[in-house]
Amino acid sequence: MTNQKTLASLAVLVQSGQLDPVALTEDTLTRIENHADKSIFIGLTRDRAEREAKAASERISAGRSLGLLDGLPVAWKDLFDLAGSVTTAGSVVLKDNPPAAADAAVVAALGGAGMVSVGRTNMSEFAFSGLGVNPHYGTPRNPRSADVQRIPGGSSSGSAAAVAAGLVPLAIGTDTGGSVRIPAAMTGIVGYKATRGRYAMKGVFPLAQSLDSLGPLCHTVQDAVWADAAMHSLTAPVIRRAELADLSLVIPETIVFDEAEAEVVSVFEAAIKRLEAAGVRVRRQAFPSFAEIFDLTARHGALITAEAYALHRERLAGPEAARIDPRVVVRTRLGEKTTVSDYIALLDVRDRLIHQTVESLKPGELIAHPTVPHVAPMVDPLLANDDLFIKVNAKTLRNTSIGNFLDFCGVSIPCGTGAAGMPVGFLVSAPHHQDDRLLSAALALEAPIRGGA
């Protein structure tokens, strides 16, 4: 009944009385329970969903709708506190923790817009991988793969798979190195990573607090705009669609195309041609700051591993370490090598590189490049070879992690398909706190970027 529906199309049905929120919620929960892939969700919040749907139904019937999102379903990456249920962060070591006493701030914000929380989606353990593999709760299948099992992308793997499989119109993820944009690109949906701090982080299990950000995974930029407004408690979006002729893109010539699959580059460049034909100005330039990020990391260690190690240090020193995915343990322990002076150097240079990058842009320009340099790889070879896993994970995170380090906001939009018919993502990014301008532009850019995709 509601397979692959957008928030916008469902809102028309619900607000007009053609679809009751109770029926929509029941249909959603039933389809999740009957879906062949049991690893997309870690758990459903059925009682809560039924209660919220009933309240929405009564409001709408009485003419007191809370707005366009009232009565529509949403799923949450298992980092967000949902009152009465346990936040496991994709790990078995937290599953015996007490249930959350209160909703995370953004959960409460979407609840305030009338959205119905249906459950918790699977993820890379502790959000520490761009691939989406989870040995405890299973690895969600990429719904777009027609041949063998391929990764969904991570760490918001279940959130992307839930939307791409048509189980929910919206799922909320987190993005510390690409964890919203990567799975969106690999499953052929839209993923918006907000500027860090755009939404309240209270009640969200962290990974690296100087990099952590949040964002919606959904089918269209329009849906992302609606979700964004509600996530910071606006009663309606304030973002206007830009004019294509007013938009300018700059394509980096540094790092982002290195060792990229030919099909990914071809599909991206075809989208660029469509944008130019539609009146968008496009130029290319080198970004030395991009290369310097990786040189800096080689010298001082990565900011993400330093902060993740500080967060999990006691856990890794105790018996719980044996119950954590060994790949996550190894990567987190890399942070032990980062000294205080290394960490301060990372923060100092980060500040300089952010300013240097922004100053290299012309007024109003947005940055455009492939979200990921390859399509979703097959799962089995990665599980069979730890060295390959590490290499592919690093390459998967490479393009998007630049945006986290430089505090960009970004939207990944599907632009076609590459090898094995798998989706390719087109990433549009803006400097920090320019989210409204980014989303305004993305509303206009989406159609030419997609072409027929």
Active site residues: 77, 155, 179
CB atoms within 10 A of CB 131: 27
Give how far Cα 257 sits from Cα of 74, 239, 421, Å. Answer: 35, 31, 20
Q: At what angle do helices 7-15 and 221-231 cross, to 10 degrees?
A: 70
**Residue 198, both tokens:** 């755009």
Classify residue 389 by burial, with Cβ atoms within 10 Å: 0-12, 13-18, 19+: middle
Distance CA 90, CA 78 (A): 6
Amino acid identity of residue 131, one-letter, is: L
Helices 7-15 + 21-34 axis angle, to 10 = 140
* Residue among 409, 82, 75 at smallest CA distance from 217: 75
Helices marked H in 188-255: 221-231
Closest CA to 43 of 112, 154, 100, 121: 121
Question: Rounded CA gap, 152 and 143, in Å?
Answer: 8
Instruction: Detail the DSSP E strand segments found in 258-305.
Output: 281-285
Longest dimension (CA), the chain: 63
